[in-house]
């Protein structure tokens, strides 16, 4: 006996599988997840960052700053994460400030504020001394993004 399947949503080819709003939502979600785990002192895999070197920890203590390894000195780098581009099929996350180098003099905060977020991020991810991998997505991030896409598809197909 044959089975007949009828679509009640119109032509499936006319249903957009993604759109700019969804991609922007995914980008913002990724930024929040990266920012949250990095601020907590964890890398992309959830492992704690390597502790600060003794010398750097002393410099931070002298200036009344904490010694937690969380890639936050002034907050400028993590707060500069932004959506650099979005289309209906892709979102690009980057840093709003450029790649300038830090000042050679001044307090740690002054040096940090004078450096571009791109430069700070590249140094954090591999400056030849310590690698702190933070600007990436992991399996839990992928699951959260997949769930967001599934919720979107549920809305547009109904």
| Cα dihedral 9, 10, 13, 18 sign | negative
Q: What confidence tens digit (pLDDT) does each residue in 1-12 have?
A: 576 666 565 666
pTM of the model: 0.72
Which residues does 44 contact at the CB level (< 8 Å), separation at least 6?
A: 34, 37, 133, 134, 135, 136, 137, 138
Over residues 65-104, the pLDDT tens digits come to: 888 888 777 677 788 888 989 998 889 988 876 544 544 4
Cα end-to-end distance, the chain, whole Å: 29
The mean pLDDT of 151-157, rounded to a whole number, is 84
pLDDT of residue 112: 52
Helix axes 139-157, 20-39, angle to 10 degrees: 150
Q: What is the residue whose two structure tokens read 């991810």?
A: 125
- CA–CA distance, 32 with 29 (Å, rounded to integer): 5
C-alpha to C-alpha distances, 36 to 54, 96, 107, nearest whole angstrom: 25, 18, 26
């Amino acid at each position: 006996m044959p089975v007949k399947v009828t679509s009640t949503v119109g032509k499936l080819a006319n249903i957009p599988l993604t759109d700019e709003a969804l991609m922007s939502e995914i980008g913002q979600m990724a930024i929040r997840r990266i920012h949250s785990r990095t601020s907590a002192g964890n890398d992309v895999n959830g492992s704690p960052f390597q502790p600060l070197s003794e010398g750097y920890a002393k410099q931070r203590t002298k200036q009344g700053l904490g010694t937690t390894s969380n890639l936050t000195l002034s907050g400028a780098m993590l707060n500069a994460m932004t959506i650099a581009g979005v289309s209906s099929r892709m979102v690009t996350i980057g840093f709003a400030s450029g790649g300038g180098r830090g000042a050679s003099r001044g307090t740690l905060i002054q040096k940090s504020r004078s450096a571009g977020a791109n430069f700070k991020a590249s140094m954090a991810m591999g400056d030849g001394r310590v690698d702190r991998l933070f600007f990436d997505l992991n399996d839990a991030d992928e699951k959260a993004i997949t769930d967001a896409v599934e919720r979107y598809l549920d809305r547009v197909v109904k």
